[in-house]
Amino acid sequence: MSKSIDQIFVSAKYWLLSWLDGSPSWLIQITSSLISIFALLAVFLTLFALMSVLERKILARIQNRYGPNRVGPFGLFQPVADGIKMLIKEDIVPARADKSVHFLAPILIAAAAILALGVIPYGRNMTPFAIDGGILFFFAVGSTTELAVFMAGWGSNNKFSMLGAMRAIAQMFSYELPLLVTVLPVVMVVGSLGPDRIVAAQAEYTYGFAPRWFVFTPWGAAAFLLFFVSGLVESNRTPFDVPEGESEIVAGHMTEYSGFKYATFFMAEYIGMFAISGLGVTLFLGGWHAPASALEFVPSYLWFFGKLSVLLLVYVWVRGTLPRTRIDQIMNLAWKFMLPMAFTCVIAAAVWHYAGRGLRGWLWSLIVIASVYTVLSIVLDTRRKFAPRVYRFAE
């Protein structure tokens, strides 16, 4: 019974495809792809609507207020009202803007985020598009986000938009390097760029109850933290949302956008956040595997979305807790700390592998991580850089 529930969506897809028995193979392949695409859009657009209202309600509780509570029961229909408002708002385009580039920028950034969702395993036999180089495809598609941001800034023909786009691109390029490097240890240890192979490598349990997820190794824990912080930056989330700062007058590369185009940018940021979090679950948290062998009777997709929900909650928690940082602090953190630590994780993973992947390898890996972290802390002297400022005024 549990297996049938676990594979209910896979069985439903095969049932739909059975209606095409005897049809040409190309038609069956196209139909299969369309079913996967519509399923992805249905799930993650619903999650986007739900996340938009839940985030506002959680942030309201953190800030001791109510949040959305008027439209529908408990304010749950607020996303519907927001969507209708964005659809009927006037679309204002600057007279001297490059109208084709201005129009294509939000479409490209949303398409890139949606495509990245296609290679993540959401459950047993539930990878929408299983390809051998899935991790490579994820980052290749995700890198087009920088192009879309540049198109938005350039096409708007506005100096504020252009400066905001340049600052966003500099920030995203800087953190894309540690994001990529933190994936390398997992790829090295597993020996594959396929997300399904990576999830399968974390399927075993020690003594039948302790999962062998990569996050429980010293190099995996450090890489996961670096990956998570880089994901915050790539998603333009607080405290790294310097380029757009929606609470300020100028909204970065989105300054000249209104109506549904403006909403598309925010939708793309949320979907990108889902994609980065889903990849983090796949790489470090065992994917769709249960945290204990005794809990494997729970459908695999529930475990995946449960882990994804925890990471999304942490995103919201960070937003409601930390203030926005300065751009110089963000760039210093990327180049002087996160990039060296990311390469350290690669070395620590190699040490863990060649030391036998046992207790000895665990300890040697921990020593490598702790040594480099200590040296960086001494060299960078963060206490001096982040000390309280003393402001002096002329008499």
DSSP state letters, 256-315:
T--HHHHHHHHHHHHHHHHHHHHHHHHHHS-TT--SSGGGTTS-HHHHHHHHHHHHHHHH
- Residues near 241 by beta carbon (within 8 Å), at least 6 away in sequence: 324
Residues of the chain with pLDDT under 70: 1-2, 208, 243-249, 381-389, 391, 393-395
For residues 70 and 81, give the distance between their C-alpha atoms in angstroms, rounded to a whole number.
11
- Residues near 145 by beta carbon (within 8 Å), at least 6 away in sequence: 109, 112, 113, 172, 234, 268, 272
For residues 110 and 165, give the distance between their C-alpha atoms in angstroms, rounded to a whole number.
16
Q: Per residue in 117-166, pLDDT tens?
A: 999 999 988 889 888 888 999 999 988 888 999 999 899 888 888 888 88
For residues 271 and 259, give the distance between their C-alpha atoms in angstroms, rounded to a whole number.
19
pTM reported for the whole predicted model: 0.90
Beta pairing partners, 16? none
Q: For the chain, percent helix, then strand, then coil, each to nearest 5?
A: 70, 0, 30
Torsion 66-47-221-387 (CA) sign:
negative
Residue 222: the pLDDT is 94
Residue 55: the pLDDT is 92
Q: Name the nearest CA neighbour of 187 among 27, 350, 315.
A: 350
* CA angle at 369 for the pair 237 and 172, rounded to the nearest 5°: 25
Using CB atoms within 10 Å of the CB of residue 18, give its burial: 0 to 12 exposed, 13 to 18 middle, 19+ buried. exposed
Residue 246: the pLDDT is 58
For residues 83 and 46, give the distance between their C-alpha atoms in angstroms, rounded to a whole number.
12
DSSP code of 206? Answer: E
Rounded to the nearest 10 degrees, what angle do helices 78-88 and 25-62 cross at? 110
For residues 196 and 212, give the distance between their C-alpha atoms in angstroms, rounded to a whole number.
16
Beta pairing partners, 206? 210
Residue 1: the pLDDT is 43
Query: Do 116 and 184 meet the contact criterion of CB atoms below 8 Å apart?
Result: no
Three-state secondary structure readout of 166-194: HHHHHHHHHHHHHHHHHHHHHHHHHCCCC
Residue 363: the pLDDT is 93
Residue 394: the pLDDT is 63
